[in-house]
Amino acid sequence: MQCVISSQAPVVQALSHEWYGKAVGVPVEFSFCVEGDFLVYRAAQKAAVVIHPEAQPGQFKEELWKYDTAEFFVADAEGKNYMEFNLCPNGAWWACAFQGPRQPLAGAGVPEGVETTGCVRADGWEAEAKLPLVYLRSIGIDVNTCRLAATCILNSPDYQFCTTSDDQSGEPDFHRPWSWAQADIQ
């Protein structure tokens, strides 16, 4: 599935099926766009959500993926260097740069200047992350030629793993940058 990056109004897409092909009860809507000096990712779902009990809005928190979370991955054109970004529905976040599947990129550090928001209600949630383009460039990623994958983990603890990745073989594993589509820049 192609992920669209828009410089105009964001193009809303949906994650509607989990890793093994089964439809999820309520799709997660997402979009990517460039706004000023940021890559902006938005995600929303009209369903209840279970979030990490220690997740604080706007704060960096590890292991968000153990609960319901919206995520995205962005890689260089060759799919070598990439970043994983976890976005909790309440706006907490975690990010890490890699130089290959699950191999942290030395010296990359936690990105500075990230801005996140989130809102959780009984009937759903919506969240937004703004990732500075200067940070992406510092790890070798140009949004004009990047690869993207939108992902999410739903229904914890009975996880449903959803992704736009072309490779959904074997057990769920989002760290397959070679299988993410080139971003469709509009």
Helix, strand, or coil (residue 133): helix
Task: Let me know: does 8 contact 186? Beta carbons within 8 Å.
Answer: yes
Rounded to whole angstroms, how far apart are CA atoms 5 and 141?
14
Q: What is the pLDDT of residue 185?
A: 85
pLDDT digits (tens, 9 = 90+) for 23-79: 999 999 999 999 999 999 999 999 999 999 999 999 999 999 999 999 999 999 999
Q: What is the pLDDT of residue 141?
A: 97
Average pLDDT of every residue of the chain: 95
pTM of the model: 0.96
User: How confident is residue 8, by pLDDT bands cut at 50, 70 and 90?
Assistant: confident
Q: What is the pLDDT of residue 10?
A: 85
pLDDT digits (tens, 9 = 90+) for 151-178: 999 999 999 999 999 999 999 999 999 9
Q: Is the pLDDT of residue 19 over 80?
A: yes
User: How confident is residue 9, by pLDDT bands cut at 50, 70 and 90?
Assistant: confident
Q: Is the pLDDT of residue 7 over 90?
A: no
Cβ-in-10-Å burial (0-12, 13-18, 19+) of 96 comes to middle
The structural domains of the chain, with segments of one domain joined by +, span: 4-185
CATH value of 4-185 in 1.10.3470.10, 3.40.50.300, 2.60.40.1180, 2.60.40.1190: 2.60.40.1190
User: Where do the DSSP E strands lie in 12-123?
Assistant: 13-17, 23-35, 38-45, 69-75, 82-87, 93-98, 115-121
* C-alpha gyration radius of the chain: 15
Average pLDDT over residues 117-136: 97
Helix, strand, or coil (residue 146): coil
Q: Is the pLDDT of residue 12 over 80?
A: yes
